[in-house]
C-alpha cells in the first residue's frame, strides 16, 4: 500500500474546475458513459497573413452562400458577418444527429496598418472567402461595405 500525501489545494482546484466546466457548459449531459452533448457557437475559422504590401484573410465558410456574407471596413476594423442557414428536411426524413452549427456569425479584426479601401479584393469560392487588403499610408474611409466576387 502506497501512502499519498494529501494536498488540499489540489482538491480545491479539482472542485473549481468542475464548477467552471458546469457553468460554462450548462447544456452538457452527464449521464454515465454516454456521449456529452454541447451546443457550439458558430464562428468560422480565419487565417490571417501579411506581406509587405497587403494583409490576406482566408475564412472557412462551408455551406454558406455568398449572398449571406458581408464584409465591412470601418477605419482599422474589418468585420466579416453573415449567416449559415440550416437546410430543411422532408417530412419522411428521420434526422439522427445534427452536429453542425447554424445561425448568424461575425468576426472583427483590428488591422495594424492603414488599408487602401479602394483596392480591397474579396473573392468567394468553394466555401472559402479570401479578402486581400492592400496597405497604404492614407487612413481608410469610415464605414465602407466591400463587394464579394
pLDDT of residue 123: 97
pLDDT of residue 110: 92
Name the pTM for this structure. Answer: 0.67
Q: How many CB atoms lie within 10 A of CB 132?
A: 15
Q: Identify any residues that bridge with 72 across adjacent strands, giving them in sequence order.
A: 79, 145
Sheet with 128-134, strands from edge to edge, namely: 46-50, 54-60, 128-134, 121-125
Does an H or E element contain 12, and which?
Answer: helix 8-24
Distance CA 58, CA 102 (A): 20
Distance CA 51, CA 25 (A): 40
Per-residue pLDDT tens over the stretch 6-52: 777 777 887 888 788 777 765 555 555 455 544 456 789 999 999 99
Buried b (16+ CB within 10 A) or exposed e, 22-56: eeeeeeeeeeeeeeeeeeeeeebeeeeeeeeebbe
Per-residue pLDDT tens over the stretch 83-103: 998 887 778 888 888 888 888
**Higher pLDDT residue, 128 or 88?**
128
pLDDT of residue 90: 79
pLDDT of residue 149: 82
Per-residue pLDDT tens over the stretch 110-126: 998 899 988 999 999 99
Largest CA distance in the chain: 75
Domains of the chain: 46-86+99-146 (2.60.40.790)
**Higher pLDDT residue, 118 or 2?**
118
Buried b (16+ CB within 10 A) or exposed e, 100-120: eeeeebeeebebeeebebeeb
Amino acid at each position: 500500500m502506497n501512502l499519498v500525501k494529501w494536498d488540499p489545494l489540489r482538491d480545491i482546484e479539482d472542485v473549481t474546475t468542475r464548477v467552471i466546466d458546469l457553468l460554462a457548459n450548462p447544456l452538457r449531459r452527464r449521464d454515465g458513459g454516454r456521449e456529452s452533448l454541447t451546443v457550439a457557437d458558430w464562428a468560422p475559422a480565419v487565417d490571417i497573413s501579411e506581406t509587405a504590401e497587403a494583409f490576406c484573410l482566408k475564412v472557412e465558410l462551408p455551406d454558406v452562400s455568398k449572398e449571406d456574407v458581408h464584409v465591412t471596413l470601418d477605419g482599422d476594423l474589418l468585420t466579416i458577418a453573415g449567416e449559415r442557414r440550416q437546410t430543411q428536411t422532408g417530412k419522411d426524413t428521420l434526422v439522427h444527429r445534427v452536429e453542425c452549427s447554424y445561425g448568424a456569425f461575425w468576426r472583427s479584426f483590428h488591422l495594424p496598418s492603414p488599408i487602401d479601401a479602394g483596392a480591397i479584393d474579396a473573392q468567394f469560392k468553394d466555401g472559402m472567402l479570401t479578402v486581400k487588403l492592400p496597405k497604404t499610408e492614407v487612413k481608410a474611409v469610415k464605414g465602407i461595405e466591400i463587394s464579394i466576387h
